[in-house]
Amino acid sequence: MAKVLALLASGRTKGFTAGLLHSAMAGAESVTGVEVEFVHLHKYEIKPCASCFNCIRSEDHSCAQRDGMGKEGELMAKVKQANGWILADPVHFWGPSAQCHLFIERCYPFIWSGEMAGMPFASISCASNQGMQRLATAEICKWVFAFGMRYVGGLPVHTTYLKRAMGEAEQLGRQLAEAAIVDEEGREEYPEEERYVDYVDHPFSVVEPYLDNLTNGTMEYDSSLIAEGLVNFERREAVDLLQQAREPFERALQLYREGKQEAACHQLVRASALWTHATWTEFLEQDVIKSGVPDAYRPMEEGA
């Protein structure tokens, strides 16, 4: 039996957002072979991340805190056992709610364990005043991209068209449930290159923001962090990694300018992995984390 978690991040269990989630649950429950569990996130103690790095250093990549999302936490057990999540969240301050952000933040151990890579995910963002539900949807999509989840869909809703959205939520629930059944049969690997390409047409596409970040908004190599690092990094291993990153990074920039997003993805995956390992080596491994990069995090090609 595939297990779907219906996660409500709103404090209101009978509000607009909850109603949309229940429609999604009805859609999921209509699929044979699926069990759906409603989870109200506000009922669990979820502390902020303590930045202790236990989830990076420990062999099982577990959280050291003693709350709902700690190693022995009830909520953590639920999220680990699931074959798919559908997260419903009210739009606050033109983005996801604090409760949603807190929950996602405490899923940080999955970055290092890779346990959620390939798991189906869907979201609903509901706004009732100025809106910005599309911004909120894109932000949640960005977060689950980081975990390597398979993004089934995101439903940005304004209460102006709430009635229509109820039917759309039900359909989204069915799609998530069907993906969860496939996951229950055996979670498929989700290589980074495939994920980067898949997300090109999702609410968050990684190519432009990643290139923007590494070039300080210029989209030019000469003003990039990689170019700066080659001048300022002190550890030889880190500099070697940056030197390897330069060619695929410049190629990714060129392909992006040519409008070849998918081709740019393939180059960016390699460049960004090398960049990540370089900064880890320069700033984190010896002085902060005091641990090497976990195997599941940004793997590099053999020989890199």
Predicted confidence (pLDDT) at residue 105 exceeds the cutoff of 50:
yes
Total-model pTM:
0.95
Q: Name the token pair of 183.
A: 């996951």
pLDDT at residue number 302: 55
Residue 2 backbone phi and psi in degrees, to 5:
-75, 140
Digit-coded pLDDT (tens) for 16-64: 999 999 999 999 999 999 999 999 999 999 999 999 999 999 999 999 9
| Tokens 């641990």 found at | 291
178-191: average pLDDT: 96
The amino acid sitting at 26 is A
pLDDT at residue number 233: 97
User: For residues 5 and 121, is the Cβ–Cβ distance under 8 A?
Assistant: no
Q: Name the token pair of 278.
A: 């370089």
Give residue 236's pLDDT band: very low, low, confident or very high (50, 70, 90).
Answer: very high
Question: How many other C-beta atoms are found inside a 10 Å radius of the C-beta of residue 33?
Answer: 11
Give residue 301's pLDDT band: very low, low, confident or very high (50, 70, 90).
Answer: low
pLDDT at residue number 299: 86
Q: Find the length of the chain.
A: 304
Please give the CATH architecture assigned to the domain spanning 2-190: 3-Layer(aba) Sandwich (3.40)
Least confident of 12-16, 160-164, 283-287: 283-287
Q: CATH 3.40.50.360: which residues of the chain? A: 2-190
What is the strand order of the sheet 2-8 is part of?
Answer: 34-40, 2-8, 84-90, 120-127, 150-158
pLDDT at residue number 303: 45
Digit-coded pLDDT (tens) for 206-220: 999 999 999 999 999
Percent of the chain with pLDDT over 90: 95
pLDDT at residue number 281: 96
Q: Residues 6 or more apart from 32 whose CB is under 8 A from it?
A: none
